[in-house]
Structure 1
Amino acid sequence: MLPFSYALRNLFRDPSRLAQTVGGSALVVLLIIAAVALNQGMDSVLSASGSPRNVILVGKGSEESIERSEVQIDAESSAATSISGIESQLGVTAISGEISYQAPIRTGSGKEHQALLRGVSEKALLVHTSVRLLDGQFPGPGEVMVGALAHRNLGVKEGELAIGKSISFGNSELRISGIFTAPGTVLESEIWFDRNDLATLTQRETLSSVTLRLDSENIDEVDLFTFQRNDLELSAIREDHYYEKLSMFYGPIKIMTWVTAALVAAGAVFGGLNTLYAAFAARIKEMATLQSIGYTRLALLVSLIQESLLATLTGTLLAFIVAFFLLDGRTVPFSVGTFTLTLTPPVIFTGLLAGILLGSLGTLPPAIRCLLPSLPKALRSS
């Protein structure tokens, strides 16, 4: 086998080729890291938003969109008295009738921003157990409570949604009374209203949904209630299943992310292959000379792969550095909330694997072509 130092010295024989290889591999790996982080972030926030013990009652035909659902107001009290197995704390039943609404609001800057609004009562905290009040208090009449990531979803500065500031919805101005967190869920991007306020502002006489928290994951009692109360026209769906369906809805977006990354990466890969073909073609005589003094073609192939791996792994390291500063911890808004890009072990492993494959499998075609000519023919090449 050739010494490793031989591959290391050859790496710097052509600085321009080295820069192209490092830059191309860095671009490919960075795109793959971004695609994996985007898809993983979206999946994780949707899967964490639903609890298997929470059941959502929505209007029939609206199982895929709570915003379009309409539920009679008395469905909340009917469900509370008719369904056994609902969790309670200090005698308060964990059931929450809510209004979900998506509409533009105005912050202090005067600009309109599309926001996710939820009209709730204090019982919502018994159902959405991940919600914690960071500062301030639960909203009363004329007040709202904002999620810790709501400013990212709206694209405004955090200070515009501080306690004591105001937002405008329609012709009404509402004071921000509190800030809450719900780590890893879409709730953290929402703005919570007093339910009566939101009903008045949106001129609604119905709820969007009724969410209840059960003692167990068995929802048979809830299904029975919906069958018995045909007059309410309700459908029951487990909260985690609802968000799973949302994840499937965003499947085409995930595919487009991969397609875009693949197209750009393909251009970089083909450019890198052309560079390697040209570089290795100029070394056919060199390879033949090494064969003539006793080195096997396999040893030469390993050396060429080592040389390429050094360049691509350098590019991979560069991609991870860029991803750490530009992607890690960045929040990305989408229609139902925001999610955070994180360099988790699976993301890092995928990026590293991509760099190794680029340096090994990507090198094989030009390297084999370089070593393919017979020894006499290769020695006579100019």
Structure 2
Amino acid sequence: MKLLKNLGLVLLMAVLLAGWVMLPWWGALALAALLAAWMFLFRTGAQARSVASVGLSTLTQRLGSSAVIVVGIAGVVGVLVSLLAMAEGYARTQRNSGSLDTAIVMRGASANEVSSSLSREDIVQIEQAPGVARNAKGEPILSAETVVAANLPVRGSKTGDTGSAQVRGISEAAFAVRPQVKIVQGRSFQAGLRELIVGKGAVRQFDGLTVGATLKLGNQPWTVVGVFASGDAMESELWADANVVNDAYKRGGGRNSATVKLENPAAIKAFSEALEGNPQLKVKATTTLAFFSKQAERMTQILRIIGITVGAIMAVGAVFGALNTMFAAVASRAREIATLRAIGFRGLPVVVAVMLETTLLALLGGAIGGFVAWLLFNGFEASTMSAGAVGKLSFNLAVSPQLLWEGIKWALAIGFVGGLFPAVRAASLPVTTALREA
């Protein structure tokens, strides 16, 4: 019988946790409001409030054991939110790199720019497709670009380690299709010369990218003439004239991709249909927002899996800490709880009161853990080892309100699991047994 009862509790706990995971913040507020209404409007709720108030008033006498719950849950939430902030920051940086009114065109089955190739003839036909915006001179706003990799010394490395940097050969139209790119130091490169402008993120990651410095790319010397900022993934790249990059890397006259400015976001439909329906072309067009969001999916998923796995392992320890603490707390109050039940208090108010105590401690631990994660890691600079299959991507960790809510949900879930079994034991223990054990 006891086995069936415990099995039922486990199944109930699993169902409630499954629903809790999908609950939005406003749903949690609604549940809290219903609980408060029950505690103040109904007799059994008033009983739960009385038992809970007595338990909370004795917390000062149990600071050490209560701190075990708070600190344990704070650690779980802090680590979880910090790791998930990496995924959020990476995805946000990639999403900021695209928009709905620009499109990128690549060879049909290409997963990224590196594996794509476009000929000069392809680019001419892409320029003539419907939906492409034009400048004041009536010229299509299109930047045909080459993407290559270069090994550069990693900043701060004492062993001379090198990392992969993404070099993008662009045309003058690149600044028109990406108006967020601004030169913040020095000047832009001159067409036909081996000159580079480098992103702020690349400057933070690699040595030797100061204005006026010389570095070797494609076995040729290049001069850094400027630094640009864009607030997205482009900040991790080095830009130069596409024709010069192609010459240095022996790429001929082709390009890897073409980025175009659309007349408006709705123009992507006609633009993509015209290109994909052209039998002379084997290309695929998508908005840059969709492209960069797709690029972020795999890395974001990996980072989230790591964060949730580590958080789950730590949560197990926190649950056992909460179980031990609450079983001890219930045992110390066995006579009090037995007396209350003897004078007419029902089992449900006792269960709610014990779980409410654990939940409040869990909420405190979750709030502390989330605040520490936000304080230490929000905006913290990080980088991938090989973003986009070519170079490192610099990004900032982002502790968003959604992540903080996710951390609070984990904290409350741990408190729920840690308090459920002690609460049920307190409410179901026979009065005579409880008095004898006390």
The answer, yes or no, to whether TM exceeds 0.5 is yes
1:135 & 1:248 partners in 2: Cα distance?
33
Structure 1 residues 103, 273: closer, same or farther in 2, change over 3 A?
A: farther
1:373 to 399, 420, 429: 429
C-alpha spacing 1:358/1:187, structure 2 compared with 1 (3 Å): same
Residue 135 of structure 2 is aligned with which of 89, 95, 100? 89
Compare 101-110 and 131-140 and name the one that shifted more.
Answer: 101-110
Q: 1:192 to 1:356 in 2, by over 3 A?
A: same
The percentage of aligned residue pairs carrying the same residue is: 27
Mapping of 1:240-255 within 5 angstroms? 240-250=289-299, 252-253=301-302, 254-255=304-305
1:168 corresponding residue in structure 2: 216
Find the aligned partners of 2:296 and 2:116 in 1 and give their Cα distance: 19
Determine if contact 1:125/1:131 at 8 Å carries over to the other structure. Answer: yes
2:401 is aligned to 345
Q: In the alignment, is the contact (CA less than 8 A) between 1:99 and 1:195 conserved in 2? A: yes
Give TM-score, length-normalised by structure 1: 0.86
1:180 aligns with 2:228: yes
Match runs of 1:352-371 below 5 Å:
352-360=408-416, 362-371=418-427
SS in 2 for 1:93: coil
Are the equivalent residues in 2 in contact too, given 1:54–1:238 (CA < 8 A)? Answer: yes
Task: Give the structure 2 partner of residue 45 of structure 1.
Answer: 93
Residue 195 of structure 1 aligns with which residue?
242
Match of 2:311 in 1: 261
Report the Cα distance in structure 1 between the residues aligned to 2:234 and 2:165, rounded to whole angstroms. 12
- State whether residues 148 and 188 of structure 1, in contact with CA within 8 Å, keep that contact through their aligned partners in structure 2: yes
Task: Give the C-alpha shift of residue 18 in structure 1.
Answer: 2.2
What residue identity is the alignment partner of 1:373? Answer: L
User: For each residue in 1:42-97, what CA deviation from the matched residue of structure 2 results, as whole angstroms up to 9, or x when unmatched?
Assistant: 333333322222222212321x11111111134333432x2233212222431001
**Alpha carbons of structure 1 residues 357 and 222: separation in structure 2 relative to 1, 3 Å:** closer
Equivalent position amino acid for 2:135 in 1: Q
- Number of aligned residue pairs: give it: 374
Q: Do 2:91 and 2:300's aligned partners in 1 also have CA atoms closer than 8 Å? A: no
Deviations 1:118-138, CA, capped at 9 Å, x for gaps: 111221011123222222221
- In the alignment, is residue 210 of structure 1 matched against residue 258 of structure 2? yes
Q: Residue type matched to 1:98 in 2?
A: E
RMSD: 2.8
Secondary structure of the structure 1 residue equivalent to 2:319: helix
Cα separation, partners in 2 of 1:245 and 1:108, compared to 1, 3 Å: closer
How far did residue 21 of structure 1 move? Answer: 0.9
Long gaps (5+) in structure 1: none
The match for 2:108 is 60
Q: What is the CA distance between 1:175 and its match in structure 2?
A: 2.4
Using the TM superposition, give the Cα deviation of residue 162 of structure 1 relative to its aligned residue in structure 2, in angstroms.
3.2
Call closer, same or farther: CA 1:248–1:328 in 2, change over 3 Å: closer
The separation in 2 between residues aligned to 1:28 and 1:119, in whole angstroms, is: 45
CA distance, structure 2, for counterparts of residue 272 and residue 129 of structure 1? 53
Alignment of 1:263-342 (within 5 A): 263-292=313-342, 296-334=346-384, 335-336=387-388, 337-342=393-398
How many angstroms apart in 2 are the aligned matches of 1:221 and 1:343?
37
Equivalent positions of 1:206-245 (< 5 A) are 206-216=254-264, 217-219=266-268, 220-228=270-278, 230=280, 233-245=282-294
Give the TM-score, by structure 2 length. Answer: 0.76
- Cα shift at 1:326: 2.0
Greater helix share, structure number: 2
- Give unmatched runs, 5+ long, in structure 2: 1-48
